[in-house]
Amino acid sequence: MVPEAEFRSYYGRPVIKAPIWHEPHMPTYLYLGGLSGASSVMAVMARLTGHDRLGRTARVAAALGASAGAGLLAAELGRPERFLNMLRVFKPTSPMSVGSWILAVQGGLSAVAASSELTGMLPAVGDAALLATGVTGPLTATYTAVLVADTAVPAWHEAYRELPFLFAGSALASAGAAGMLATPPAQAGPARAVAVLGAAMETVAGAVMERRLGPAGEPYQLGRAGVLMRSARAQAAGGGLLAAVAGRSRALAAVSGLALTAGALCTRFGILAAGRASAADPKYTVVPQRRRLDGERPT
């Protein structure tokens, strides 16, 4: 345990405001964005390699993830009727602006790709749209890491290097799990592989992050966030292992897919909880800043 840092504060009140984003909207949106983004890439690869059944699943998952995510995003707004104000400007300095455009494009493209797949209409247009999601998909899955990191919340901001990988891993696991759950096992081999890789990436990125952050990473280990993050890790590991050995077992695939999905959700909820905890305790804001200042001062 890190020794309690000595610091001064104003009646223990937080220095910064905690993120006001709600549960389950925000973390679910993070999950869905990851699911959509990674599913798109999976769908592209499936199309290119002829995994048609898996491709169909992935196309649908990508489309549903993006549209449901957009719905949650709108519901999260204080003024949902002004959702379209997000597309009033394009601001490179705002990850949410950039992300809104990415999500809008990803949502549109993935919807076209899925509709074409399901209806059989305009297959060329559908494929073109699908190919384009090969670009927007990874961005949809990872921009959200920038979204949370570009705040004054220490546990988020300080983790801006690892969070994208954590999110990418989580997205892969989510997409792989969806593929496993909604595709007959015989056609879901790549999905299982994606799931395994995703779980591995998520686990490694999480471990690296917590180690590098040191005291700033404490919120990921304590309290509700700690429970969620530990549970996420266990489910990712378990789900990943199961995926690796599931083979053609429908039951194992289902268990693995559910575990991975639950793990991915736990990760997202855990990250929000850790961010809130990190903002609520002035220690996380004051101590590193004070060290930085004192370090700069000649003693």
Total length of the chain: 299
Residue 13: CB atoms within 10 A of its CB come to 8
Distance of CA 233 to the CA centre of its chain: 14
Query: Quick one: which of 33, 37, 126, 217 contacts another protein (CB under 8 A)?
Result: 37
Answer for the pair 47, 137: CB distance below 8 angstroms, yes or no: no
Instruction: Show contacts with another protein in window 92-121 (CB under 8 A).
Output: 93-97, 100
157 binds another protein (CB under 8 A): yes
Q: Which stretch binds another protein (CB under 8 A): 61-69, 86-94, 212-220, 222-230?
A: 86-94
Q: Which stretch binds another protein (CB under 8 A): 33-41, 103-111, 213-221, 262-270?
A: 33-41
215 binds another protein (CB under 8 A): no
Query: Quick one: which of 202, 275, 277, 281 contacts another protein (CB under 8 A)?
Result: 275
> CA dist 175 to 8, 150, 232, 276, Å?
45, 25, 16, 27
Answer for the pair 163, 156: CB distance below 8 angstroms, yes or no: yes
Burial 59-89 (b: 16+ CB within 10 A, else e): bbbbbbbbbbbbbbbbebeeeeeebeebeee
In this structure, is the dihedral angle defined by the CA atoms of residues 94, 134, 261 and 104, taken in order, positive or negative? positive
> Could you tell me the smallest distance in angstroms from the CB atom of residue 221 to another protein?
20
297 binds another protein (CB under 8 A): no
Answer for the pair 298, 278: CB distance below 8 angstroms, yes or no: no
> Could you tell me the smallest distance in angstroms from the CB atom of residue 235 to another protein?
19
The CA distance from 192 to 184, in Å, is: 11
> Could you tell me the smallest distance in angstroms from the CB atom of residue 197 to another protein?
5
Identify the CA nearest to 47 among candidates 132, 169, 107.
Answer: 132
**Using CB under 8 A as the criterion, what x/- string covers residues 160-179 for binding another protein?**
xx--xx-xx--xx-------
> Could you tell me the smallest distance in angstroms from the CB atom of residue 290 to another protein?
5
> Could you tell me the smallest distance in angstroms from the CB atom of residue 234 to another protein?
22
Answer for the pair 189, 246: CB distance below 8 angstroms, yes or no: no
Query: Quick one: which of 17, 211, 212, 250 contacts another protein (CB under 8 A)?
Result: 17
Q: Which residue matches tokens 């004070």? A: 290
Query: Quick one: which of 79, 124, 297, 298 contacts another protein (CB under 8 A)?
Result: 79
71 binds another protein (CB under 8 A): no
Instruction: Show contacts with another protein in window 229-268 (CB under 8 A).
Output: 244, 247-248
Residue closer to another protein (CB basis): 37 or 107: 37
Q: Which stretch binds another protein (CB under 8 A): 113-121, 192-200, 210-218, 234-242?
A: 192-200
